[in-house]
Amino acid sequence: MLPLKSMTWVLLLLLLSPAIINLSTSQSDARWAAKKRRLRDKVHKMFYHAYDNYMIHAFPHDELKPLSKSFTDSLSELGNLKLERLPQDYSGSALTLIESLSSLVIMGNNTEFQSAVVWLSENLTFNVDARVNLFECNIRVLGGLVSAHLLATDSTDRLGKGVYKNQLLTLAEDLGKRFLPAFDTPTGLPFAWVNLKYGVMENETTETSTSGCGSLILEMGALSRLTGDPKYESAALRALRKLWSMRSSLNLLGTTLDVSTGEWIEYSTGIGAGVDSFYEYLFKAHILFGKEEFWRMFHSAYIAVQKYFRHGPWYHEADMRTGKATYWQLTSLQAFWPGLQVLVGDIAAANSSHREFVYVWKKYGVLPERYLLDHQMLHPTEKYYPLRPELAESTFYLYQATKDPWYIEVGESIVNSLNLYTKVDGGFASIRDVTTMQLEDHQHSFFLAETCKYLFLLFDDSFLVEKNYIFTTEGHPLPVLSSWHDRLPETYIQTNRTLLKTGNQARRTSSMSKQVCPPTTLNSWECSGQQVESACHVPDARSDHRCLTDDECGVDSSNCRRRSCSMAGYCGLWLFI
């Protein structure tokens, strides 16, 4: 037995240990909270350094040229819009201002938001002879206006009484009407380009991308819900359904197609440029509008991506007809994918891919536009970094899901790199070559719409407290409203449900109804220690997992890989052992 004096010390230590642990935890939490506040303030300064320089040197033109402290109205993606009270030969659209509206609200600047709303209400018009890219104009301009209208009319009363009378919605509806001629094709798939005054021009190109005609449903659907006019959502939905009908037997879609014939032009496909937001909008449309149809499309497409594109933590490109790999490359736009996987509930897969993007970021200081996986080297001609937001976006989502402080450190690394390599006296400049950090005289509007926004929300998510938003592919928030849903299922939808056993009872649940609970995340607070199936899970045909062919095997719940039938007649991940 221990001496009495020793036993006294042991008992005292046992009594004090919880207090010491709680004090240590409290001190650690306080340090992290202070660090987040410091980083939030740093991002706040970044945003206003970019915004103020735009307003001084470029407004009301499209975008800022930060090195020369001038402006550009030559957006090849967007075409140009015009303003009411300026000379007829002027072609600016105040694009960066439109893109900054929701960011101003998120950062708490209601005064500047009100000034911007009033200015746009009095000056912006779309009745101009301007050829615009439908996809870009939709996500940037229509999305910015619709989102800002919703923020201007929510319950916070952030605008002065009598200031706002739906002017942004009026502008948005006018723009939506000017989009509709683009959908007048034999297939219902829209032209990539449309003239805002005269519609589709003679001899207009019939080539478009999967993203271009499959990523319109959020903005145009929201416009229909706000105006009560179904024609905008109907046009976007018809195009989406037609596009889905063109998928291969593998549930894969190509990258480019002809809107007149409905034939594919480019069969090589992946999750990057030309296709990325198609996947994003299928799932987000399901959240925003509650349609089971969107979930069914996404579920099939997501499983196909995991089966044919995924190689460990990376995603390569493949032929939509055969599933065989075509290009082994990472593109910066692919960095959105982990964020989407968080919404689905596949946290383990999201974290795995995200860490590889972070590795490439740290290797070069920023994320290059294209990186060749098979050679572990940069693409020889696409070595630029145009201030893209996708890695910051996925970092934000993963931190929201896990609260792992490592993601705060990733965010800090991104902030430091942007300030070190891209900040100049006149704003933030794009990088022309990541090997030399040579700068390019361009500050894209999405730096204010997305990059700064997601970094700010990573460190301060007070805007989201007790609210439910989805963000468009351009970072514009849209509230999830029950009045917009066709119906509200008890726990989403039947095809995504599984049984969650609690004691002797079983109840319906899903990874989405539990928000983020793949079975590998056993300690996640959302799951309360319970295992929930991942959204990509497809069970084996038989409960005893016996099989005769691979067709009787499903998709594994933890890593989304297709299971196969062994020689002994059992389903499993035999090809990956």
* Active-site residue list: 136, 276, 369, 390
Tokens of 520: 């590998």
As beta bridge partners, residue 258 has: 207
Asked whether the beta carbons of 149 and 172 are under 8 A apart, the reply is yes
Q: Count, in order, helices (H) and strands (E) of the chain.
A: 17, 26
Distance CA 282, CA 343 (A): 12
Which residues fall within 8 angstroms of residue 456, CB to CB, at 6 or more apart? Answer: 40, 43, 44, 47, 103, 106, 107
Distance CA 96, CA 496 (A): 40
Distances in Å between the alpha carbon of 71 and those of 123, 144, 442? 19, 21, 9
Helix (H, G, I), strand (E, B), or coil: what is residue 443?
strand
Q: Provide the 10 A C-beta neighbour count for residue 52.
A: 11
Question: What DSSP designation does 135 have?
Answer: H
Runs of H (alpha helix) within 58-156: 95-106, 110-123, 134-137, 143-152
Distance CA 101, CA 96 (A): 9
- Give the H/E segment covering residue 378: strand 377-378
**Which of 120, 176, 122 lies closest to 148, judged by CA?**
120
Q: What are φ and ψ of residue 127, in 5° steps?
A: -85, 70
Q: Provide the 10 A C-beta neighbour count for residue 290.
A: 20
**Which of 328, 401, 330 lies closest to 370, judged by CA?**
330
